[in-house]
Every structure is written in structure tokens, then in C-alpha cells.
Amino acid sequence: MAHNIPSWAVDGPAEAPASPRTLRTLRKIRSHQVLTTSNALIAQTQSSQSSRPSGTHVTDKGSIGTPGTPARASTHRRARSNSDAATRAANLAAPASTQRRPARKTGSGIGVKRSQLESLLRDGPQSGKGRDGLQELKYLVLSCRVDADGDGMSPYRVYLWLVLLNLSPVPTDEYLAFIHRGRSPAYAKIRNDTFRTLATDPLFKRRVTEASLIRLLNAVAWKLHDSKTKPKSRPSSSRRRTMELLVNTPPRIAEEPEEPGSANNTTVNESATYVQGMNVLCAPFLYAARSEVEAYALFHHFITKECPGYIRGAMDGVHKGLRLVDRCLEVVEPKLAAHLFSKGMHAELYAFPSVLTFCACTPPLPEVLHLWDFLFAYGTHLNIVCIVAQLLRMRDTLLATDNPNKILRSLPPLDAEKIIALTVLLAPKIPADLYAEMVTHAK
């Protein structure tokens, strides 16, 4: 190790050592030189910073700091982690125009390829013939699924239903007029059911409110009420001639007694304007429609044209449908039918909700919508066969148990694609006379 030897100790004659005062003076001179050099370096650094662009400056360690921060203070700062440096640099370097939004899953946007089903629904048949286009539309419903997201929402499903049910648009004022009339005669019954409509389905609860259910059911109840209390239509010409012969007859003889169910009877049966289960039946319409008016039009048309027997006070159509489930099961799978009947398990004990709501009571809701696409295309009477198809998918489990009631308390979740495929295979096995009863049982 080198040592600093004073010059007086190497060359020349020996001199006396320096006094303590001389050493203190030398130390002061050296400290002054060090401080002067440091101040000069600091001034030089500050002048170079002033020539740089405002916003950042380089410290003595080469790190990036903020203006006004002392250079020496930054030397003791913890360095920034560079784990996200590449991602951060890429985000800063990429222009805003290159950041693309994710493409939509459906083909309703510009530049997105449409499915054949959506193209046919939007553009119509190429031949221009409505009947041919309708047949092609039904085939596409069967062969390819309606484009929808994970929640079952599709931008054109409601219009597909309007076309398949042959339903014209309904003026919004008609729906609003019923809303403004207030509570219908069936309002109390409606309020007793709406709060438990698909109560365990989070998709339905997130999209449809109880208030919209009440409004729609109340409006339909007013519509049915008015249809039952409207005045009798004008008599036909033959009946008019008969009445002309009785012009001079006393009124008490000419008047005919009114039948209890005649259109001229002003006594309204509340159970005919609303029956329990209509709340679940209208739920898919509200979920799939883009407005309450569309749901109102679809639901009213459906219950009055497709299944009017289901909403009568005695629900005759539903009970006919239950008997048809047993008869169809006997035809397509006699062994399973015999096993269930031997245990006292008839359709009226387990299939009542499925028949009344067209399987809307069985989750998940997106599969219900897919199944309804098929039913609206090929006939809602096929719901009977769809219920039988669900039983056949449980065949081995039901045959292996002595207590099928425990299994059939709740049907397994819907798999619309498999149920539709099995229904298409089972329908040709049903005899013509039984199939004809199935077509007309809900009327």
C-alpha cells in the first residue's frame, strides 16, 4: 500500500515537523478546494439541464427524475422495477388508432359476416315467394342455432319469433292505454305470482324487473277482459231475416236467454283473464324482446292463438296435454311407461309445470329460448314430445330406481340441442290419430 511521504522526508535536509496550527490550516485549504469543485460541478449540471426539454432531467446516476428535485437526493431512491417496462413502452408507442375493440359475436354490425338465418330474416327469400322463404327459415332454425351471446341474447331473435308466429307490429299506444287504466280485475293474483317468477335465475333477474312483469301481465289481463265483455257482433243475414219475422213479437218472447259463456255476458271470470303460471310463460318473451310492447304483442298472441286452452279457468288444455304425455310415452318407450305407471307416477304428478310453461320452468334460460325457436318454427304442440324426450334421456336412471318420484321432482337442466334432435326422431313414431289430438289439445 502506497503512503504519502512528505517531500521534506525524501530530499533535502531534515526539517522540523509542522506545528498543529499549520496542519489545521492545510486541512481548511483542502476542504475549501473540495467544496469549490463540487459547487462548480453542480452549476455545470444545472446549466446542462436548462438546455434539455422540460419535464425530465438526468441526475448524476443517469436516472430520470422530476424538475426541482436535487440531484443527490435521487441517488438514494429505490430503482423502479422493469417487469412491466416492455408492456408500458409498447402501450406508449402504439397509436390510439391501432387499439381495436373486440368484435361482436353476432352478425348485426357492419363488416361482420352474418349467418344464413340472419341474412334470410333481414333480406327475405331470393325467390321472392313468402311460403318458400318461410320453409327455408324453419329449416335454418332446425339446422343452425340462432346467434346469441352467453346469456342467450340475440339482436334478431324477437323478429324471428314475430315472423314464425305471423304477428304484425302492435302500436305502442295500445299498450300504453292499458297501462294507464291502472289495476285490472286480476291485479291481486298477478302480484301474488310475479315476485317468484324464475326467482333462482340470475340472468332473468338481471335483465327483467318485477315492475315490467306486472305491467305486461296487467295489460294482457285488461285485453282479455275487454275481449270477454265486448258487445255481441252483428247477426248474420239469415238470422236477421228470422229476427225481422219477430218484429211484432213482444220483447219478452223475442229475447233469447243468454248462455253463461256467451260473448254478451258481462260477468267476467277473473281466472280467465289470469291463471297461475302465466307469469312464467311470459318471462321468456320479456327476456328476449327489445321492448315491453314487443313482449306484450308476442305473449298475448301466444296465449290466445297457440294455447287458449291453457288459460281457461279449468285449464282443460293443460290436463289434456298431461294425458298426451303418458300416451306418447307408452308408444315410444313402453317399458319406461310401465315402470312409471307401476309406481303411480303419471304425468300429472311431475309434468304439469313443463306442459303449462312449455318447459320455461326448467333452467337454463338460454336453452329455453333455443327450444322455443324450434317450437315456434314447427309447432308448439311438439312440447309434449319434448317432455317425453327429457324422460328418455333419464331412462336408465328411472328404471334403476324404485322411487322415481324423488328424481322427477325437478327435471335436469335443459339441453335444447339434444332434446330437439331426440324429438325429431320420436315424432314420426307417434300414430296419426294421436298426433292429431296433440296438435289440437291446446285450442
CA triple 228-264-297, angle to 5 deg: 20
Q: How far apart are CA 32 and CA 21, in angstroms?
A: 17
Cβ atoms within 10 Å of 388's Cβ, excluding its own: 30
More confident residue, 202 or 26: 202
Cβ atoms within 10 Å of 237's Cβ, excluding its own: 7
The number of residues making up the chain comes to 443
- Where does the pLDDT of residue 121 fall: very low under 50, low under 70, confident under 90, or very high at 90 and above? confident
Domains and CATH numbers, the chain: 116-144 (no CATH), 155-236+265-306 (no CATH), 307-443 (1.10.472.80)
Is residue 77 within 8 Å of residue 59, measured between CB atoms? no
pLDDT at 294 over 60: yes
Report residue 138 as a C-alpha cell.
Answer: 324453419
Q: Which of 101, 140, 106 lies closest to 374 in space, CA to CA?
A: 140
Q: Where are the alpha helices (DSSP H) in 147-235?
A: 157-164, 172-180, 187-194, 202-207, 210-229
The pLDDT assigned to 172 comes to 93
How confident is the model over 56-76, as a mean pLDDT? Answer: 42
Q: How far apart are CA 141 and CA 372, in angstroms?
A: 10
Does the model's pTM come out above 0.75? Answer: no
How confident is the model over 309-323, as a mean pLDDT? Answer: 92
Distance of CA 211 to the CA centre of its chain: 18
pLDDT digits (tens, 9 = 90+) for 411-442: 999 999 999 999 999 999 999 999 999 999 99
Residue the block writes with cell 439541464: 49
How confident is the model over 318-323, as a mean pLDDT? Answer: 97
- Where does the pLDDT of residue 82 fall: very low under 50, low under 70, confident under 90, or very high at 90 and above? very low
pLDDT digits (tens, 9 = 90+) for 2-42: 444 444 444 444 445 556 566 666 666 666 565 555 555 55
- Where does the pLDDT of residue 251 fall: very low under 50, low under 70, confident under 90, or very high at 90 and above? very low
Report residue 120 as a C-alpha cell.
Answer: 334470410
Residue the block writes with cell 485549504: 29
